[in-house]
Structures are given as C-alpha cells and as structure tokens.
Amino acid sequence: MQALSRFSGASLAPLTAVVLLGVTAVTAQPQPRLDVPYVPTPQEVVDRMLQLGKVRAGEYHIDLGSGDGRIAVTSAARHGARSLGVDLNPVRIEEARTNAKKAGVSNRAIFELKNLFETDIGKADVLTMYLLPSVNLELRPKILRDMWPGTRIVSHAFDMGDWQPDHRESVIGRTVYLWIVPARVEGRWTIEGSHKFTVTIQQKYQQITGTADIGGKSAALRDASLSGAEIGFAVDIDGMTYRFQGIVNGDRIDGRRNEWRAARAK
C-alpha cells in the first residue's frame, strides 16, 4: 500500500529529539498526514497488475500513491511505458527516483510529490493504485469523469463499491481488480442504416439495458454489452434478429463496418 495524502499540509505531529550535551527539545519539520500507510506491493502482484492492464510500449501510465516506485519503474523497464508516480511522502519520492535511476529508466519513470486528487489523470492509458476502499470511492467520480473510455484501471486489494470490476483474480493470496472505463451511453439514440429506429439506453457503469422503438412498437435490447467505447446489442425486427456492434465517440456511434450509425437525440 502506497503512502499518500489528500492534504498538502495537514495535521502535524511534532517530533522532539533530545540533543546530548544540551538536552534541547527540537521540533521536526511539518509532515503531511498520510491517509494511506506505506505497504509495498509484492513484485509478483506488480507484474500481474501490469499484465492485466495490458501496458504497452509508449503508453502513458500513472501510479497513484507510488511509494518506492516499483510499479512505475517496472512499467517503464519491462513494458516500455511512460510512467508517472505520485506520492505525498518526500522520502518515498526520493527512494522511487533512486530506484528509477538504478533501473536506467529515469527518463521514462517520473515521480512527483503531489496530491493524487489534484493529479491530471485524464491523459493516462492505464491507472494503477493500492490505496484504501474509502479513497477508491472518493476517486471513482474523478475516474469516470476525467478518463477516456477504454482506459484500464487496476487496483491491488480494494474494489470501487458498486462499480463491479471487469475482471478479478487472486495473486499469491492478494486480490487484483481490473476495470475498463465505460463510455457514457445513457439516453435516447437515433439509429440509421438498413433500418431506422430509436433506442433508449439505461446505464450503470458498464452494465446497459434498453428498448428499441421500431415503427411504434417497443422491443427490448438483447445481449446488450459495453466495454470501454465498444457497444453491442441485438434487436428483433420483423421476425429477424439483427446484431449491432459499434464504437461510441461522444454523441455518435459508428457501426463496426460502417453499416449503421447512431446519433444521440437532443
């Protein structure tokens, strides 16, 4: 578990030291209050987290609460990613920078003394974290708001409440979770192609349901799925079942083979 804090200069715990020959009390420099204690992630878990996140060369990876930097350093050294580690403990930041230098990846594994809630995560391809359940829940709205559909989120040990993971597994007795940030598809869409009709979609994270309005008749969407920006569903039209698969791009959906398209109704 990596050390971090939401507070840049939070509650301080003065430390005193007795100086020999003077018996003088000395107050240490203020330290940030860390919401999450520093507990290193075992390397076997680090390796599997990055595998599940499908970290690839050239991708941008952010590790929140980076501790000694082992996740970001491994990502840069073994996967060729550009990694940013964020932590509020200056001791851990210096340790992480030293580890990156030893691994020869100081140019690709960068570490910043920074509040994770103030970190720009929107450009990351992969986000990793080992925090606490309460911190995950507080971070969840920022992830869903700021990160692009298809971004991979990997967490060691803790989930994100009612946002069910796309994958979960045990690694040497530790639980690792994977989520893929879903596109926002809730609402009414006008479908055009070989058939023209409207669909109304309800969404809870990556889980979607909905109905189609075809010539004044209503039909439930079947086998509806959403993974990142990839959407799929089936509709029965005139006794035939049609399967629609496409890519969500904001207020537009493009059919996989351009055989259909959809626009979000205003």
How is the beta sheet containing 252-255 ordered, strand by strand?
A: 217-220, 207-214, 197-204, 187-193, 260-264, 252-255, 240-249, 230-237, 222-227
Q: What is the pLDDT along the chain (266 residues), one digit of tens a residue?
A: 644 443 332 222 332 232 222 333 333 444 555 567 788 999 999 999 999 999 999 999 999 999 999 999 999 999 999 999 999 999 999 999 999 999 999 999 999 999 999 999 999 999 999 999 999 999 999 999 999 999 999 999 999 999 999 999 999 999 999 999 999 999 999 999 999 999 999 999 999 999 999 999 999 999 999 999 999 999 999 999 999 999 999 999 999 988 999 999 98
Q: If we measure between CA atoms, which residue out of 154, 141, 134, 135 comes closest to residue 61?
A: 154
Q: What are the strands, taking DSSP E only, across 55-166?
A: 60-64, 82-87, 109-113, 126-129, 152-156
